[in-house]
Amino acid sequence: MDIKDKWIYFAAPLFTAAERQFNETLALYIEQAGFAVYLPQKECAKISKSAEIYTQCLKGLDNAWCVVAVVDGCDTDSGTSFEIGYAYAKGIPVIGVRTDFRQNADDGHLNLMLSQSIAMLCFVNSLEDASIDTVARCVKEKINALLIKVLQ
Sign of CA dihedral 28, 65, 41, 142: negative
Residue 2 lies in a domain: no
Q: Are the CB atoms for 98 and 73 separated by under 8 Å?
A: no
Residue 134 lies in a domain: yes
CA distance 62 to 42: 17
Tell me which residue of 114, 112, 78, 79 sits closest to 97, measured CA to CA: 114
**Per-residue pLDDT at 8 exceeds 70:** yes
Residue 144 lies in a domain: yes
CA distance 33 to 46: 27
Distances in Å between the Cα of 90 and the Cα atoms of 23, 58, 68, 130, 152 are: 24, 11, 15, 33, 19
Angle at 103 between CA 29 and CA 20, to 5 degrees: 30
What is the pLDDT at residue 105? 43
What is the pLDDT at residue 62? 96
Find the CATH number of the domain harbouring 68.
3.40.50.450
Tens digit of pLDDT for each residue in 111-127?
889 989 999 999 888 88
Number of domains in the chain: 1
Q: Phi first, then psi: what are they for 13, rounded to 5°? A: -65, 150
Residue 123 lies in a domain: yes
DSSP 105: S
Tens digit of pLDDT for each residue in 78-114?
999 999 999 999 999 999 999 988 765 445 568 889 9
Domain encompassing residue 38: 7-151
